[in-house]
């Protein structure tokens, strides 16, 4: 079967990158498995057959760029898997009353919040994937101050329009757990 580049692009996006989506939304795939998927897709894209070796003229990461940025818009399966796992983590934070959130809380973090939890002993593969995706949330989450009672001055990202969204000055040990509410004058 001979396909044009447009036909190959369609096949890759519609089939090869769509089939693992459901499993990726439930489990964190091993990095080596995502690399294997990338390799197979790349071989198909460059027209490699059986044991034949063809030169891959463009790096995979460049092919994953958006079309507006000169790429082909292919998914980076590792990042896509992190995004789907991060979506489950976000649901645990935003909907703690859901059945899944209650079940995971009872099993893995009964005395703390999801964002403060440790991996725990003997975690399921699903929980491990969700817990490992916590970095995705931490990277993008910011506190909305309000009364400031839940926000730690030195630990939490709460300052808008700065690079790190945190206070970077030195601090004393006595004020390690200081909350933002200490700086708010109740009216």
pLDDT tens column, 141-186: 777 788 888 888 877 778 877 777 777 777 666 677 788 888 888 7
* Cα angle, residue 158 at apex, residues 152 and 159 outer, rounded to 5°: 125
Q: Are residues 7 and 99 in the same domain?
A: yes
| Matching residue, tokens 């909907």 | 95
pLDDT at 4 over 90: no
Same-domain status, 74 and 135:
yes
Residue ranges making up the domain that contains 59:
1-141
For residue 173, the model assigns a pLDDT of: 67
Dihedral pair phi/psi, residue 37, rounded to 5°:
-60, -45
88 and 175 housed in the same domain: no
Kindly state whether residues 23 and 54 are assigned to the same domain: yes
Residues 152 and 79 both lie in one domain: no
Is pLDDT of 103 > 90? Answer: yes
Give pLDDT tens digits for 15-67: 999 999 999 988 899 999 999 999 889 888 888 777 777 777 888 889 899 99
Q: How far is CA 10 from the centre of its chain?
A: 26
Residue 76: its pLDDT value, please? 93
Residue bearing tokens 């590792």: 78
Mean pLDDT lowest among 52-61, 63-72, 105-114: 52-61
Compute the distance between CA of residue 102 and CA of residue 116 in angstroms, rounded to an integer: 16
Is 111 found in the same domain as 29? yes
User: Do 79 and 164 fall into the same domain?
Assistant: no
Question: Residues near 42 by Cβ (< 8 Å), separated by ≥ 6?
Answer: 56, 60, 63
Q: What confidence score (pLDDT) does residue 75 get?
A: 93
SS3 51: coil
Tokens of 70: 């000169």
Within 8 A by CB and 6+ apart from 87, the residues are 25
Same domain? 113 vs 169? no
């Amino acid at each position: 079967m001979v396909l044009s580049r447009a036909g190959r692009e369609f096949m890759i996006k519609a089939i090869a990158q769509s089939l693992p989506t459901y499993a990726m939304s439930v489990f964190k795939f091993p990095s080596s498995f995502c690399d294997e998927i990338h390799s197979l897709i790349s071989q198909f894209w460059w027209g490699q057959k059986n044991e034949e070796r063809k030169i891959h003229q463009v790096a995979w990461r460049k092919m994953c760029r958006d079309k507006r940025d000169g790429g082909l818009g292919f998914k980076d399966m590792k990042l896509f898997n992190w995004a789907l796992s991060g979506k489950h983590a976000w649901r645990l934070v935003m909907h703690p009353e859901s059945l899944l959130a209650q079940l995971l809380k009872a099993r893995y973090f009964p005395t703390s919040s999801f964002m403060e939890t440790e991996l725990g002993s003997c975690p399921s593969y699903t929980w491990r994937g969700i817990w490992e995706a916590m970095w995705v949330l931490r990277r993008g989450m910011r506190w909305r101050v309000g009364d400031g009672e839940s926000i730690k001055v030195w630990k939490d990202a709460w300052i808008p329009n700065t690079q790190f969204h945190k206070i970077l000055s030195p601090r004393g040990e006595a004020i390690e757990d200081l909350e933002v509410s200490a700086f708010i004058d109740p009216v």
